[in-house]
Structure 1
Amino acid sequence: MTKTGRHSPLHSMFGNLAFLLRKSYQLDKSIVFATIAHIPVIVLLPLLAAYLSKSVVELVTDASDAGTLTVYVLSISAGLLAMHWLNMYIGAKIQFRAFYNRFLYIGLSIDKVMNTDYDNIESNSGQHKMDKANKAMEGDDTGTQQFFAQLVKCCSNGIGLLTYSAMLNFLSPWVVLLLFGSTAINYAVNRAHNHWVQRNKDNWVPLERKLSYISKKAGDFEAAKDMRIYGMSGWFRQVSKRLLGERLGWSRKSERRGFIVDVLNVTMTVVRDGAAYGFLLYQVTHNGISAAEFVFFFALITQYSGWLLGIIDSFNALHKTSLAIGDMRDYLDMPDRSNRGAGAALPDASPEIRFENVWYRHDSSDDATIKDINFTIRPGEKIAIVGMNGAGKTTLVKLLCGLYRPTEGAVIAGGRNIASYNRDDYYKLLSVVFQDIYLMPFSIAKNIALCEAHLIDRERLEHVLKLSGLHEKVQSLPEKEETQLLKSVRDNAIDLSGGEKQKLALARALYKGGSIIVLDEPTAALDPIAENEMYLKYNELTASATSIFISHRLSSTRFCDRILFLENGRIVEEGSHAELMALGGKYAGMFELQSHYYKEAVGV
């Protein structure tokens, strides 16, 4: 088992079935009722057909008149026709409702990924669970959609098997034992194969995720420039070919095992049916059963074989579906450790923030990223956290935002551990611009306000566009702030440059107006002069807010009250710009190296 393949113990089959029935009843009661109604219809149909054949032979043997025979046949045939119509109607209803039901579970999955704790989906194990869960919901033949059809088949086959066993017992209990014994062998073989597939699924799901990534990036226009300039297509093909070869290797193993299982199933079927029919012929020739009884028992044995094969196939299909449902439950049941219930009251103004002996280590890492951090940010203070790439700056931001929980120590805001606040309430305090900026295929206004058009405060929108430096660009567009974004999605849209995206992200943070404002490398795509102008505007707006600037470029630091210099997850220097320059340490050295980019702009 690979490291990425670690997962919680499998849920039991009946536990999974109970979960899906209970959840489906909550989401869509009609499909549960339709499933229950469909089972007796399927059982009665072949039994009614067998009874019709037996009755016709009896009437013919007894030399009944044509009128009686016609009425009898038409009556039973009418009943059969009505049952067939009912069977098709209920089957179609189940099929449609199952399709609808699958999308309800997709909705649950989307809710989970949007609302679960951030580290649940950032971790490799969380991504692995999400990929396996999506396999249970991605198509018409997957677990959540096929479950009800398979449940109907399994239950109808089981009830039919018991009903026909009772009838065939009148012929001979040995026939029933023969058929049951061969069924048990088939079931054991198929169950072993399903368990093999489930055990080894963790070996090919990561391969499929990598293949999906390569396929997506190969057609991603944002990667197209690098793909061509650096001649990456050949390398991409090699990586894709290698991964595809590994995935096909697992497919070959699975297909070989499946072929062996099919051969064993066919062999057992031939042996079972041959022995049963031979016994029935023996009964005709030696024990003198009637022609009508022969026809009836022949139909029962023929259908009995269908029930047997059906219960093997349907039970194994249901078992396979159960395993997929278990994957979905593993994903949906990922625990959220943050407070989602009643929390402490939020502070009314910008709070004091304290890091007390904070350590943080990723689950997949042996080394801590943040090591014994202690500092305090006073209300309304502006702090710069600087350092080289990899120093731990972004991890520090995620701890402050509550996206990560400290491995040791605590983050305190407003005199309380941030874990004591309701998670979503705490997020209201925060206006954050992260390094990675994501835009949606909506208007510029909606991308800033993140709400429907009629709820947007237009004066506030205009204000933050000016403060972020994006106003001139927006006014030059024909549709101004209603201009649509992302040409890859909308024909009439535009794409913003890297610097314009960062300005939009700043406008978004300013529009929200949180009392704690965090900028994580917010101006990396701007030139030094534009960056300095941006911070001058930003400094005016955030006069009453607690502000944290994260950067490895130091043009923002002169506007801050205090600077923390991070190295290898620790604070190695702390003070104002003037104090750190006088200290002549790591900050001063880094500032001097960068100063030729912005010395003239900031008046140094």
Structure 2
Amino acid sequence: MEVLQMKKDESSKKKRHSLRDSIHEFLALLSYVWRWKKSVFAMTVIYMVSYTVMMALQVYLPKAVLAELENRQTIQHLFMVLGMISVFLMGSILLSDHLVVRLRNNNFILQNEMKMDYIHKLLYTEYANLENMEFITKRDTAKAQLYGGDIGEENVSADLSNFLTFLNTMFASVLSIAFYSVMLGRQSVFIAVAVLLTGIAVYAVFSQSGRRNYQYNERISSAWRKAKYATDRAGDFSMAKDVRLYQMENWLTGVTRKYMGIRQHYKGVVQRFDAEMEALVSVCIAVQRLSIYGYLIYEVMNHGMPASDLVLYAGMAEALSQSLYECFSHMQKIKQMSFSFHCVQEFLQYGQDTKEIALPIKKEKATLKLEHVSFRFPGMEKDVLHDLNFEADSAEKLAIVGVNGAGKTTLMKLICGLLTPTEGRILLNGKDLGMMASDERYTWFSCAFQDVSFLPVTVQENISMCTAKKTDTKKVVDCLLMAGMKEKVEELPKGLQERMEKNINEDAVDFSGGERQKLILARALYRDASVLILDEPTAALDPLAENELYQKYAGFAKGKTSFFVSHRLSSTSFCDRILLLDGGRIAEDGTHQELVEKGGLYAEMFELQSHYYKERMSQEGRLA
């Protein structure tokens, strides 16, 4: 059933990739190489000539020896001819080998250049793209082309690091084909036509085999990804407890065996088809050779062709066949590489990028106003936030509350300019936030979001988010003090110079979840911008640390427009105003006292949470 289902899935295909598309992609890749390093094409031309000379001399050498013997030349004359041919042959071989080494090195540099473009795109693309599934899909595809996919040996992406090598061999083969075709055509049109017809037949076989393999590789890769998912879950130590407690061993083993079986089935189909195609190619080449040798023997026996000419033309025919084979096989590889490059370019050209300019952080007073702001993620039919209208005055402390999934974090991303409203606008000091360049928008905000992330650098650099030379150490210490982490960091053997992230630095310090959240707070305080956004800053803190943060919040937010996002309503009483989000809308707006007296949803949620905390404290008191 699974095999049938995968066949049905395969039937819903994208439009066929045309020859015109392939040519356009190939020219785009050549254009990229031209802009990167024009001297590569000079090397290509020299390699084409040296390769063709090398192959031609190898073919001519047996003819020269036989001709000398047929003409009864002296030993001295024979060695002189062989010496001249050998000098040119050795020179062309050495030059070709030198160019191959140079091109391989350029291959590596070229792919690194593409990888740097890929990394640059990730760093400078608009943040909204990072939450766009179309962008994420293009990113994953581009990454597979540059770094190799994670779909096993059936990875259909081409290795772009070999592009220049294949390109030069293909062009050299084209020149060799032209040379041998002219030389053979002067002696016999029959030989040239026989070889060319065989080459066309071989190309047709290659094309058919390539299309068939690509189709089946898609199915094989699909099965491999599913099998690999189950294998990865078995090796994911974070799931080790669940695997054992819920007895998932047989399930994971069964899934792996099932999809590996499907993979094996399709691989068998591909291997049988490839064997048939290889047999067909062998038959075509055998027929070609029999025809050519038959013709040459006929010429020797009936028209007195010298044996040296027979050897020469037979060698040329063989060399032409080899050149055609190499040319067509490399064309298939380059076609795949051009498509791979096209996937990379689609990713690099997606959406807008920010400017590469570090602007000074804004510290002036800021007023924010939302006018009929709605937002939905691309591809979704329903708004996450709908028709929001409110104003945050300069130095006002706002609490944003609501149940999980109410859109609190999305609202904060809209306010700080990471996301753009689908409808409406956000004004910052009367200026439309959407009309500002993204790098200018970001200078107004200091943010501490829920998702905690650090770099494998020192504690100090993770707070300042710049190099040690540009870091104000005293300011870092002050921010750690405000965040409640000064004593912890001072206790470390290297203090502020202790490195983080054990997956990179084996001797890195290991902070708890709550401590990491405090470090993120210290990072936001160090930035010290006009607007402070704290998104669930107490989620990983214990009650004592949480209470300490509440008491310090007024100091953090002094002189700043600030937003404190939380689902714990006990954290809102110290804010000037509270906005309650429900169903993507502002359900209630007011001070803590006003909303409690109103008796609405906020009052109901506050009462429930208060009852829980009172009951918990009572139980802890009885246990004590």
Above 0.5 in TM-score? yes
Question: Is the 1:388–1:552 contact (alpha carbons within 8 Å) kept by the matching residues of 2?
Answer: yes
CA spacing shift, 1:135–1:290, aligned 2, 3 Å: same
1:586 is matched with: 601
Indicate whether 1:80 and 2:89 are aligned: yes
Indicate whether 1:174 and 2:183 are aligned: no
- State the distance in 1 between where 2:314 and 2:282 align: 20
1:317 is matched with: 333
Question: Is the 2:199–2:321 contact (alpha carbons within 8 Å) kept by the matching residues of 1?
Answer: no
* Paired residues, number: 601
1:451 is matched with: 466
Question: Is the 2:402–2:582 contact (alpha carbons within 8 Å) kept by the matching residues of 1?
Answer: yes
2:426 equivalent among 411, 426, 434: 411
Deviating more after overlay: 434-443 vs 269-278: 269-278
CA spacing shift, 1:238–1:196, aligned 2, 3 Å: same
CA spacing shift, 1:516–1:215, aligned 2, 3 Å: farther
Q: For residue 152 of structure 1, report the CA deviation from its aligned partner.
A: 0.8
Question: Is the 2:363–2:444 contact (alpha carbons within 8 Å) kept by the matching residues of 1?
Answer: no
SS class of match (1:106): helix
1:91 equivalent among 96, 100, 104: 100
2:139 equivalent among 130, 141, 149: 130
1:286 is matched with: 302
CA spacing shift, 1:239–1:480, aligned 2, 3 Å: farther
Deviating more after overlay: 546-555 vs 279-288: 279-288
- State the distance in 2 between where 1:63 and 1:265 align: 42
Letter in 2 for 1:125: E
Letter in 2 for 1:134: K
1:430 is matched with: 445
CA spacing shift, 1:424–1:184, aligned 2, 3 Å: same
1:519 is matched with: 534
- State the distance in 2 between where 1:373 and 1:74 align: 88
- State the distance in 2 between where 1:411 and 1:122 align: 20
2:574 is matched with: 559
- State the distance in 2 between where 1:76 and 1:262 align: 36
1:274 is matched with: 290
Question: Is the 1:387–1:567 contact (alpha carbons within 8 Å) kept by the matching residues of 2?
Answer: yes
- State the distance in 2 between where 1:246 and 1:410 align: 52
Indicate whether 1:396 and 2:424 are aligned: no
Q: For residue 297 of structure 1, report the CA deviation from its aligned partner.
A: 0.5
Q: For residue 9 of structure 1, report the CA deviation from its aligned partner.
A: 7.8
- State the distance in 2 between where 1:4 and 1:407 align: 32
2:53 equivalent among 24, 44, 50: 44
Indicate whether 1:503 and 2:503 are aligned: no
- State the distance in 2 between where 1:3 and 1:287 align: 59
Spell out the pairing of 1:11-410 with structure 2 (5 A cutoff). 12-138=21-147, 142-195=158-211, 237=253, 240=256, 251=267, 254-336=270-352, 340=355, 349-410=364-425
Gaps of 5+ in 2: 1-8, 150-156, 617-624
- State the distance in 2 between where 1:273 and 1:211 align: 47
Q: For residue 233 of structure 1, report the CA deviation from its aligned partner.
A: 5.8
State the superposition RMSD in angstroms. Answer: 3.3
- State the distance in 2 between where 1:206 and 1:373 align: 43
- State the distance in 2 between where 1:531 and 1:452 align: 31
SS class of match (1:170): helix
- State the distance in 2 between where 1:432 and 1:7 align: 45
- State the distance in 2 between where 1:362 and 1:112 align: 21
Q: For residue 167 of structure 1, report the CA deviation from its aligned partner.
A: 1.0
Deviating more after overlay: 481-490 vs 584-593: 481-490
SS class of match (1:411): strand
Letter in 2 for 1:591: F
Letter in 2 for 1:135: A
What CA deviation, in whole Å up to 9, does each residue of 1:276-305 have, x standing for no partner? Answer: 222222222233222221111111001011
Letter in 2 for 1:557: T
What CA deviation, in whole Å up to 9, does each residue of 1:402-455 have, x standing for no partner? Answer: 222222222222222222111122112221111110122222111111111122
SS class of match (1:380): coil
- State the distance in 2 between where 1:205 and 1:373 align: 45
What CA deviation, in whole Å up to 9, does each residue of 1:170-217 have, x standing for no partner? Answer: 222233223222322332343344445666777676777777776666
- State the distance in 2 between where 1:6 and 1:547 align: 49
2:436 is matched with: 421
Letter in 2 for 1:34: M
Q: For residue 306 of structure 1, report the CA deviation from its aligned partner.
A: 0.4
CA spacing shift, 1:374–1:438, aligned 2, 3 Å: same
- State the distance in 2 between where 1:509 and 1:247 align: 50
Q: For residue 16 of structure 1, report the CA deviation from its aligned partner.
A: 2.7
- State the distance in 2 between where 1:48 and 1:105 align: 38
SS class of match (1:579): helix
- State the distance in 2 between where 1:79 and 1:555 align: 88
What CA deviation, in whole Å up to 9, does each residue of 1:371-414 have, x standing for no partner? Answer: 22222212221111111111111221222232222222222222
Q: For residue 555 of structure 1, report the CA deviation from its aligned partner.
A: 2.8
- State the distance in 2 between where 1:559 and 1:251 align: 65
Question: Is the 1:131–1:209 contact (alpha carbons within 8 Å) kept by the matching residues of 2?
Answer: no
Q: For residue 21 of structure 1, report the CA deviation from its aligned partner.
A: 3.0
SS class of match (1:395): helix
- State the distance in 2 between where 1:319 and 1:563 align: 59
- State the distance in 2 between where 1:3 and 1:546 align: 56
Calculate percent identity across the aligned residue pairs. 32
Deviating more after overlay: 341-350 vs 468-477: 341-350
- State the distance in 2 between where 1:152 and 1:579 align: 77
Indicate whether 1:541 and 2:553 are aligned: no
Q: For residue 470 of structure 1, report the CA deviation from its aligned partner.
A: 0.8
What CA deviation, in whole Å up to 9, does each residue of 1:539-588 have, x standing for no partner? Answer: 21221111112221123211212111111211111111111111111111
CA spacing shift, 1:430–1:193, aligned 2, 3 Å: farther
- State the distance in 1 between where 2:210 and 2:428 align: 51
Question: Is the 1:346–1:426 contact (alpha carbons within 8 Å) kept by the matching residues of 2?
Answer: no
1:574 is matched with: 589
Question: Is the 1:580–1:588 contact (alpha carbons within 8 Å) kept by the matching residues of 2?
Answer: yes
- State the distance in 1 between where 2:273 and 2:399 align: 61
Q: For residue 261 of structure 1, report the CA deviation from its aligned partner.
A: 3.6
